[in-house]
Structure 1
Amino acid sequence: MTAELLRLARYWGYRIACAESCTGGMVAAALTDLPGSSDMFERGFVTYSNQAKIEMLGVSLVTLAEFGAVSEPVASEMAEGALAHSEADLAVSTTGIAGPGGSEFKPEGRVCFALAMKHKPTLVETVEFGALGREKVRIAARDHALALLLRAMQ
């Protein structure tokens, strides 16, 4: 998947940024695995804490207080913040509950994603991966974020 992302990013001249919480840099690592990835990868933000989301991405304290870190509004502000704080053309974000744990309202395996592109509305979605275990949820979230980027470039 990353080879196709690299090919399409080169074709369109796109640069990518990512803002990650629950994936902890896994999206950035996947994007930089290939030689030549500097042609597409602009930068990554690992913003695990709420304070990091606020300071590095400009996520609103009000949004965090009202919706919580694992929410579509926060995912949206994370992706838009990554775009605003970089030279990228598109940005993807991940925020979720990899586990173990969760609650009745925010179960383990819930991950919110956003994809922000210059001059286009931000796409947000939530995926319920289920209680697969921390590692599997994080891998599934990484792969879903990469798929979002791929769809945006096709």
Structure 2
Amino acid sequence: MPSENVIKCSKLIAAKGWNIAFAESATAGRMAAEFSMTKESGQILRGGIVCYEVFVKEQILNVPHSMIEKCTPESAEVTQILAQQASKIFNSKITAAITGLTTPGGSETKQKPVGTIFFHIITPDKKIKHKQIFLGSPEEIVLQAIDKTAALIAESLF
């Protein structure tokens, strides 16, 4: 069952007659799945791409290899390009991209521990950049990140 934030966000998007698409790394498709379970899903959900592995980021979403090397796959810079590219692919009114670290073994550092999530959301009126560190199991981090994405979008629509 989708969270209250996802349900509210879906209603707000539908009320505007808009749609949404996703470029998901850390959430691996779970965000699109959560939005697909709302009553408004048929009106608003355009689609999404799971770009978990660097290969997909580079080959399908055209993130330059040099940027991945310089900034890491889980970074604000890469997340912004993912959002821009997905926005073109899906021709969506709202595009949300998300990268981050839900488990150890990625690019985590003291400044970027496991639980760090990067968001980049494009709407017709705004570009929202956000970084947050969540605590919990990988699933708890993913669900908190989805909820935060919905909240960021909903706030931008008022």
**Same amino acid, percent of matched pairs:** 24
2:135 pairs with 1:122: no
Long gaps (5+) in structure 2: none
Shift of 1:16: 0.3
TM-score for both structures, normalised by structure 1:
0.89
Higher alpha-carbon deviation: 50-59 or 17-26: 50-59
Shift of 1:47: 0.4
Counting matched residue pairs gives 152
Match of 1:74 in 2: 78
Match of 1:3 in 2: 7
Residues 52-92 of structure 1 show CA distances to partners (whole Å, capped at 9, x for unaligned) of: 11222222222211100111001111111110111211111
Match of 2:50 in 1: 46
Contact 1:17 1:41 in 2 (8 A): yes
Flag the 1:60–1:123 CA change in 2: closer, same or farther, 3 A: farther
TM-score for both structures, normalised by structure 2:
0.87
Find the aligned partners of 1:123 and 1:36 in 2 and give their Cα distance.
Answer: 23
Shift of 1:2: 2.8
Match of 2:88 in 1: 84
- What is the aligned-residue RMSD (CA, Å)? 1.7
Residue identity in the other structure for 1:127: Q
Contact 2:20 2:45 in 1 (8 A): yes
Residue identity in the other structure for 2:121: L
DSSP 3-state at the match of 2:60: helix
Contact 1:69 1:95 in 2 (8 A): yes
Shift of 1:11: 1.9
Given candidates 20, 23, 30, the residue that maps to 2:24 is: 20
Shift of 1:7: 2.1
Residues 17-67 of structure 1 show CA distances to partners (whole Å, capped at 9, x for unaligned) of: 011111111110111002341201111111001111122222222221110
Long gaps (5+) in structure 1: none
